Structures are given as structure tokens and as C-alpha cells.
Structure 1
Amino acid sequence: MGAIFGLKGFKRGDLDGFFGLFIDNLLQLMLIAVLCRGVCGFPDELLVGRILPGAGLSILFGNLFYAWQARRLMARTGRDDVTALPYGINTVSLFAFVFLVMGPVYRETGDVQLTWRVGLFACLFNALMEIAGAFCGDWLRRHTPRAALLSTLAGIALGFIAMGFVFQLFAAPALGLVPMMLILTSYGSGLRPPSGLPGGLAAMVLGSGLAWAGRWLGWLDFQPMADTPALGFYPPLPVPGDALALLASPQGWSYLAVIVPMGLFNLIGSLQNLESAEAAGDRYETRPSLLANGLGSLVAALFGSTFPTTIYIGHPGWKAMGARAAYSALNGWVIALLCMIGAYAWLLKLVPLEAALGILLWIGIVITAQAFQAVPPAHALAVSLGLVPALAAWGLWLVETALRAAGSSLYAAAPKFGQDLYIHGLIALSQGFMFTSMVLAAVLAHLAERDFLKAAVWTFAAAGLSWFGLIHAYTLTPSGVANHFGFGAAPAFAYGYALSGGVLLGFHWRYRGAIPEYKL
């Protein structure tokens, strides 16, 4: 039976890995539920009856594939310590599709059906980009320094995962501090808690007990989630007509300036996660991994979900927990079940979120540490430089969130910023930050090796990316920061990078053959 459901060879570490990945996936579902109602106007019958079942099916599809892939690698190598690639909905894509694609359509038209169809079109186009990228991703992976691939992940892990959730945890220390310390103690020492339970499960049990006991005794202001959908059975139903409805309409194509960068974002992110898995000891083939990635997003679009799925950040963390292949399959089945019966919110009604956030903090710091540990010592500077654009993107998210909470917007407040915060520099650095992180880290990695020619090639690539708007280009609108995608989109950056490339070529010609090749 375990082999049929992908749970063959279930280990105790799989339970730890499951809870970590499950909580992360569950948070994405809650964000979808909250944002789609508030920003896109989606009613529960669409959200619970179409979008979430489609998302659950796509997550199940990917998790089962990557569990099978891990078992196949085990059989081929004779190892029993292979960890499956994690898989789920990317937070950055989720926000982009809600605020920059579907949200504007709903504000302009008030048409829920049209808004949903635009989201399906965006998800479908993203899937096709991921599938196409499977045929060139291996080349890019071979010609990119590891520091360039891992530094961006470290920046995302440090900002959007570790720091983002640790704020929430320290805002409710009575609920979250003890479970966090239990997780750090268990995983940091490599020893299980005295109860014998996996660290993640023990933390959730302890945190839940503290929350409900404190509420009962009147010591804690723990308020269980009140907004829960009705339980029922909501099977995923194919909606190819809705997914394909806008192929011949300009409505969907008008958002390519958002869709194309997000497709590239997911593709590059998947490559970085594959490199992160290899650095942790598990080398997966690029093409089948990316093909399954794209097919999962295709399943999402064709079954009603407006959110693409992708290879997830966190493999080294799950591996450090002892997770193998079955954790992925178990996560897929549980997430799919919760989506198809409308029970995704009920778990958070019983278990306070703060009890599980320590798992995400652990994942964030493990990935950040790996970026430095898995590269040659001379490339540590390159990793540090590659962190900067990702942290800028996180900083911009903090600024925008604070302004919205104050009843303002970045569009209204930007002219008021002075030299205390160079807001336009922050925005420019955050736009296309994954590409910028890769470029800057790759340039410095090659400079550490005194390979000025390769460093120049990466700098000229940055000039091209700037010229077409894939990095640094933006338009500030009342809805937020929008990509400025087109010919001559960020000319100042393009010229700057091109001139910098010329300087590097000068170094190459001046010192060619004059200095010994750097040995790592």
C-alpha cells in the first residue's frame, strides 16, 4: 500500500520533513484564501470549489513525482539517504499574480469570472515557460558558478523566510518562543526531544498545549482562527475552456510584462534549488526535474488554480532533519485532502501558527549557511554580494507593507522620501533581484579566480537584461511597483553595465598571461 501512495520506506525523519514542508504549504493556502477574497473578490464557491482543489491536485502531482525521483536515485546509487526535492507554491509568484495580475483586473472591471480567467491564463503561460526552460536549463546550470546559484536562495531564505516569520514569532513570545527553542535544540544538536517525538511534531504539540492551556487559564490572549469554510467534498474539476479562453484576447496578453519575469523567476529559482540539492549531496537531472515542474503548473491551470507550482526552497533543511522520499508524498496527499474537503483552515484553528514557525526559521538559517559552506572559500565574498539584491527586495516588501498599513501607498509616498532612504535605488535593485544576485555573485566569483573575460561576459549579460527590462526597470503605479518590460527599459543601467564590461575586458587584455591562474 505504501508503494502505491508513494510512502514506501517511510522513516522517522520523514515525519519531521513532512511537518516542515506541510506548514510552509499550508501558509501559502491561507495566503491564497485571504488575498483572493480581499484583493480579487473571489467568492467561496470559486475559491473553495475551484482554485484550492486545483492547487491541491498540482501539489500532489509534483510531490509524488519528486518522491518517485528520489527513490529512483536511491536505487541507482545504492544510497538510502536521498531526500526528495520539496515542491509547492512560490510566495513571490503568489503575491505577483494577486497584486499585479488579478487584482488590477478586478479593480478595473469588478468581473470575478474575468479576473479568474486572467489568472488561469497567467498560470498557463508560466507553465509553458517552465516546460520550455527544461530544454535550456542544464546549459545555464553548467555555466553558472555555484555561488551565483546559491546566494540568491540564501537571500530569500534569510529575508522572506527566516526574518519574515521570526518577527511574527517574537510578536507572540508566550506562544512561540518555547517551541522555537525546542526546534533549535532538537535540530541543532541532532537529538530528539525526551518525548521521543520528532522535533517539529513535539514543538507543535507543546505550542498547542501552551496556547490552549493559557487561553483556558486566562494567561494568554490566544484567539483561534474564526473564518473557516464549510466542510464538504470539492473534487478538482477540469476547466480547459476557462484556462484557454483568453488566448485570443488582448486581456491576458496585456499582462505579459508581469507573467514573463515571473516565469523566468520560477525557472531560475528551480535551477538554484537543484544546485542547492546537489550541494547537499543529491544530484537530480535538470531536464526531467524542470519538466515535472512545468507540468505541475499546467495541471494547476487546467484544474482551476491561478497559481503556478515550483520546486521549493528548503531541500538542505529537510535533509538535515532526516527526511528522505516519503515526506514529499505524505505532504502531497495531506495538502490535497485538506484542499478537497475545505479543511485547510481548520488545522490553524486548532494549532497556533506560532508553534510551527520555528521550523521555517530553521530552514532559513540552514539554507543561508549552506550557501557559504558549499562553495570554495574564495567565493564567500561572491555569496555575500549575491545576498544584497534579495535583501533589497525584502526591504521593499517591508516598506510597501508598512505604507499600506498606514493607509498610504508607495506611489503616494515615494516623492516624499529623501536621502534617509533612497527609495528609487531600493526599487531598482529589487526588480529582477534573482537575476541581479546571480550576475553580481558570478562576476565576483570569476574575479576571485582572475578570470576577467568570464566576469565581463556576465556584466554584458546584465547590460542586456537591463536594456530589455528584466532587471532594474520599473514603473510606479497606484497598484504598486510594476515591471517595465520593453526595448530600452533601463538604459542608464544598461550603459553602466556595458562600460563596466569594457573595464573588465581591459583587465583581461592587460593581465592576460602576466599573472598565474588562480587555484581554488
Structure 2
Amino acid sequence: MEITTTRVPRWFVRRDIDGLFGLALDNFIQILLIVNLCQGVLAFPASLVYGRILPGVAISLIVGNFYYAKLAKEQGKREQRDDITALPYGINTVSLFAYIFMVMLPVKLAAISSGVSGEQAAQLAWQAGLVACFGSGLIEFIGAWGGEALRRLTPRAALLSTLGGIAITFIAIGFLFRTYANPVVGLVPLGVILLTYFGRVRFIIPGGLLAVLLGVALAWGTALASWDRVQFIATLQPIRLYLPSLWLGELWSSRSVLVEYFSIILPMGLFNLVGSLQNLESASAAGDTYPVAPCLRVNGIGTLVAAICGSCFPTTIYIGHPGWKAMGARVGYSIFNGIIMGLLCLSGTVAMLAYFVPVEAGMAIVLWIGIVIVAQSFTATPSHHAPAVVIGLLPGIAGWGALIAKNALRAAGLGTPEKPLTPTLIDRFKLSDTYIDGAFALEQGFIFSAMILAGITVYIIERKFRQAAYWSASAAVISWVGLMHSYRWTVADTVVNFGWGTGTPWATGYIMLAILFFYVDWQERHKT
């Protein structure tokens, strides 16, 4: 008589420790980035970062990690398997940078230029981040019912190259600059990360952890980080229990941000949605097939919870499920990641850890993330679509260049009520053959223009000229209403200019392009 053995996943196995190191380290770096960027770039007070944002981060991470662990347990039981790995989950890196630099910083600068105090400007920027995060969550949640159709309609090169444009600029280049500003500290951890993840070299401890430890040692050993008793005592002050609050009133009072920054919020929400779909496909290829709609809904719910509880940063299913599975991680690593990250954020101890672990110690991991995203744009698309990927990278690079140019002008003392930024700067840039007005036009809605240009190029390569014409006509509509390209001047910035017909020049150009594609399609169909 044959005896069948029931195989069900356990809540915790020894190799979950390896998976926990990797996932928790990744999430910890994201939290360090939030603390450093919110306090360094946005000048948020500690009470705002530790009392509002991080508790929201904690709740969103707990919700997602616990759900995906429970889902893995149930899926494994249903399939009679004990080797199923929970989906990795955490803060969306791309959205983190996008919402800080493309939503919250512009809102803060505009508020200050209008005479608002720094404290009130920080409050307005935080509220804008909440709305952007909430908008992303809504798109992800609603998209659970139509995300698959969207992915079928959009060429992969159009999706991945746009993501690559953000990764190469707002993620990778900034940290590469920082690496070479502090080469003694930055290069060795970068080498460890490259050896670990590209060279498949195994060290005694996980490569990511080794890179951070070496970065910490080098930072303190070279005096990039140095002991300051007053500063250390200041890092202890935020340590206490923070209970999350609901910020529905702040969300409602800043609801206009949803319209003003729709050209950023909509694409970021779609990217989170499609990226999660791709990561579910990746998990399926590794042997773990999860139901699509519930996973996407919980993804959206996690982001909505983050916004309602004070966080400006969407959460998502992480890339790299096959890696965690290869490590031997199963269910427990997800649960413990949620617990540990939750405790760090709710206790305020992140401040102390951030003091001992400067961002330079962990930036190699974020730089690697940017590299992988860009590389994936080429490796995960058909090789003959490479020109489309390159074209899709360009609007993101242009948008980043425009931001750098305006930062340089502000550093030179312009962008104040006494010395505002004005259109006369365009002619001064042209003296050096720099058409900065083109960069400003590409900056507005660059996520849309990157997708559209890459999509058009894919269809041209495939000789599907009518589809290229449809995409160009769509670009004309988007440009006409000001979601893309059209911009207006403020005291310290150039910002999106919504309105009927505000993007007429670009809309006209796209319509003429569509006519060209329709003509070529007609010509090809009537060749004898």
C-alpha cells in the first residue's frame, strides 16, 4: 500500500535568514533614502519624517509583506508544495525618486517663491506627496481588472525603456556622482556589489551586507562620517513609539495636486501596475504561479494605506523573485521583513541607524538597481527593438538635464522673487548652442513622451505603420490638453501647463507625423 506524504510550506525555514538579509537590506536602504532625501533635499523637519511619513511606511510594509506570506502559505498548501517562495515586496524605488524630485520638490519651491514660510512649504510638499501616492494606489487597484490588457497593447520596449530613462538619471547618475565625489568610500562597496550580482562571486556573508559594512567602515575610517556628540544625541531624540494617524483631511485639501501632476502620477501608477505584472510573470517562470488580480489589488491597497497613514511613497511587488527562491527563502523571510521594517519605522530608531550608516555606505546597492533596470530595458526586449529602447531613454535624460539646468540657475542666485527665471534665459542658452526650451518641453510629461516615442519606433521597426500613426495621434491629443510638453514659467521653475490647446505646436507636429505614417501605410498596402 502506497503512503502519500502531504507537503505543506512551513512558516519558517533556515534559508529564510538569507532571504531576509537581502530583502530587509534593500528595504532599509530605501528607508535611509527617504530619511536623507526628505531631510536633505526637501528640508522636512524630523517631526514630519519620523512622526508622519515613516509610520505610514511601516503600515504599508506590514500589510504587503504579511499578505504575500499568507498567500504563499495558502498557495503551497493548495498545490501540496513546501518549496514555494513568497513574493518580495517593498517601497517602489522609481516612485520614491519621481515623487520627491518631480512632485514634492517643485511644490515646495513654488510655495517658497510665493512667500510661504519654509515650514508651511514643507507641509504643502508632504501633502502633495500624499496625493501622488494615493493616486498611484488608485491606479494600481483599479488596474487589477485591466492591467493585462494594457500590457498587451503596449510594446515591452515602450514600458521598460521609459523606466530605464528614470533609472539611468534620477537613480543611477546621481549616485555615480556621489561615488566619485567620495571614491575611497564609494568604489570598494560598488566593486563588491558588481562582483556579487554580476560576477556571481560568493563571499562569507551576503554581498549586499558586506558592501554596506565595508561602506560604513570606510566612511568612518576616512572621516566622511565622524563622531559628533551633539549630532548623535539629536539622533536619539526621535526614538519613541509613533502610532500611525489618518491624514484624510490633508489628502482632500491638496486634491488639486492630482490634476496638476497627473502627467507624472498616471504613468507612475501604470508602471507600478505593469511592473508588478512582469514580476508575477517572473515568479511564474521560476515555478511559483500566483493569482494576478488579488496580488495587484493588494499592491494598490498597500499604496493607498501608505498615503492615508502619512507616507508619500508607493509600495510594490519587487523584481527578483527567482533570486530569493534560489537563495532558499520561502515564507518566513517576508513576515520577518515586515516586522523588522515596521519596528524600525515605528520606533524612530532609523535616525540612529542613519547616523551610523551614511547613505554612501549603501548607495552602491541603489546604483546597482538603476543599472539592472536599464540593462533589463535591452535584455528583456527583442534585440531588433534596441533602437526603440534608446529613443525611449532620451526624454528621461532630457528631463533630468532640464532639472539640473534649473538647479544650476538657482545655485547661481536666480529663481527668487527678486531674480525670477524668465523666458529670456532661452536665448542666453542658445548662445552656447543649447536649446534648453526643447529640454523644458521634454521634461513635462516625459514619461508619456518616452513611452510614445519608443512605441512608435517599435511599430516602425515592425513595419506596422498604421499602429505608429495611432500612437502619434494619441500623442497629439495628450499634447493638446497640456499633459505633455507644454510648460509655463514660475519664479523658480518651469511647470506643466494644463489647458485646452496649450500644447498646440507639439500637437500639430504629432498630427503631421500621424498623417505621414498613414500615408506610408497606404503606400505599402497599394504597392504593385
Common fold: TM-score over 0.5: yes
Aligned match of 1:297: 303
Report if the CA contact (8 A) 1:317-1:362 is conserved.
no
Match of 1:230 among 232, 237, 250: 237
In structure 2, the CA distance between the partners of 1:208 and 1:271, relative to structure 1 (3 Å rule), is: same
Give 1:296 deviation, angstroms: 2.3
Structure 2: segments with no counterpart, 5+ residues: 1-8
SS of alignment partner, residue 487 of structure 1: coil
In structure 2, the CA distance between the partners of 1:332 and 1:352, relative to structure 1 (3 Å rule), is: same
Greater shift, 457-466 or 91-100, is seen at 91-100
- Corresponding letter in the other structure for 2:176: V
Give 1:85 deviation, angstroms: 4.8
The 5 A counterparts of 1:254-333 are 254-274=256-276, 276-277=278-279, 280=282, 282=284, 287-305=293-311, 307-311=312-316, 315=320, 322=327, 329-333=335-339
Give 1:34 deviation, angstroms: 3.6
Aligned match of 1:189: 199
Match of 1:382 among 360, 365, 388: 388
Aligned match of 1:180: 190
The 5 A counterparts of 1:311-460 are 311=316, 315=320, 322=327, 329-409=335-415, 411=421, 413-414=425-426, 416-418=428-430, 419-460=432-473
Report if the CA contact (8 A) 1:84-1:324 is conserved.
no
Aligned match of 1:205: 213
Report if the CA contact (8 A) 1:179-1:207 is conserved.
yes
In structure 2, the CA distance between the partners of 1:504 and 1:367, relative to structure 1 (3 Å rule), is: same
Report if the CA contact (8 A) 2:445-2:483 is conserved.
yes
Report if the CA contact (8 A) 1:237-1:303 is conserved.
yes
SS of alignment partner, residue 311 of structure 1: strand
Instruction: Report Cα offsets for 1:320-350 as digits up to 9, x if no partner.
Output: 9958666655444333222211122221211
Distance 2:181 2:202 in 1: 27
Give 1:173 deviation, angstroms: 1.1
Report if the CA contact (8 A) 2:140-2:300 is conserved.
yes
- Corresponding letter in the other structure for 1:223: S
SS of alignment partner, residue 501 of structure 2: coil
Instruction: Report Cα offsets for 1:405-426 as digits up to 9, x if no partner.
Output: 3333382555532253211101
Report if the CA contact (8 A) 1:475-1:481 is conserved.
yes
- Corresponding letter in the other structure for 2:91: Y
Report if the CA contact (8 A) 1:146-1:275 is conserved.
no
Aligned match of 1:501: 514
In structure 2, the CA distance between the partners of 1:439 and 1:138, relative to structure 1 (3 Å rule), is: same
SS of alignment partner, residue 304 of structure 1: coil
Report if the CA contact (8 A) 1:474-1:481 is conserved.
yes
What TM-score results when the alignment is normalised by the length of structure 1?
Answer: 0.83
Distance 1:154 1:319 in 2: 23
- Corresponding letter in the other structure for 1:416: R
Aligned match of 1:160: 170
Aligned match of 2:88: 84
Aligned match of 1:490: 503
Distance 1:17 1:43 in 2: 28
Instruction: Report Cα offsets for 1:354-392 as digits up to 9, x if no partner.
Output: 222221222222222221111112211111111111111
Give 1:120 deviation, angstroms: 4.6
Greater shift, 484-493 or 278-287, is seen at 278-287
In structure 2, the CA distance between the partners of 1:176 and 1:466, relative to structure 1 (3 Å rule), is: same
Aligned match of 1:518: none
In structure 2, the CA distance between the partners of 1:235 and 1:429, relative to structure 1 (3 Å rule), is: same
Greater shift, 410-419 or 481-490, is seen at 410-419
In structure 2, the CA distance between the partners of 1:268 and 1:125, relative to structure 1 (3 Å rule), is: closer
Aligned match of 2:33: 27
Give 1:43 deviation, angstroms: 4.5
Distance 1:380 1:75 in 2: 43
In structure 2, the CA distance between the partners of 1:484 and 1:75, relative to structure 1 (3 Å rule), is: farther
SS of alignment partner, residue 488 of structure 2: strand
Give 1:238 deviation, angstroms: 3.0
Report if the CA contact (8 A) 1:463-1:497 is conserved.
yes
SS of alignment partner, residue 64 of structure 2: helix
Report whether the alignment pairs 1:16 with 2:22.
yes
Distance 1:417 1:32 in 2: 31
In structure 2, the CA distance between the partners of 1:101 and 1:211, relative to structure 1 (3 Å rule), is: closer
In structure 2, the CA distance between the partners of 1:53 and 1:183, relative to structure 1 (3 Å rule), is: same
In structure 2, the CA distance between the partners of 1:301 and 1:356, relative to structure 1 (3 Å rule), is: closer
- Corresponding letter in the other structure for 1:205: L
Give 1:258 deviation, angstroms: 2.6
Distance 1:420 1:189 in 2: 42
SS of alignment partner, residue 189 of structure 1: coil
In structure 2, the CA distance between the partners of 1:82 and 1:391, relative to structure 1 (3 Å rule), is: farther
SS of alignment partner, residue 369 of structure 1: helix
Give 1:272 deviation, angstroms: 4.2
Distance 1:245 1:143 in 2: 34
Distance 1:458 1:466 in 2: 12
Q: How many residues align?
A: 496
- Corresponding letter in the other structure for 2:403: W
Q: CA RMSD in A?
A: 3.5
Aligned match of 2:4: none
What TM-score results when the alignment is normalised by the length of structure 2?
Answer: 0.82
Greater shift, 276-285 or 390-399, is seen at 276-285
- Corresponding letter in the other structure for 2:429: F
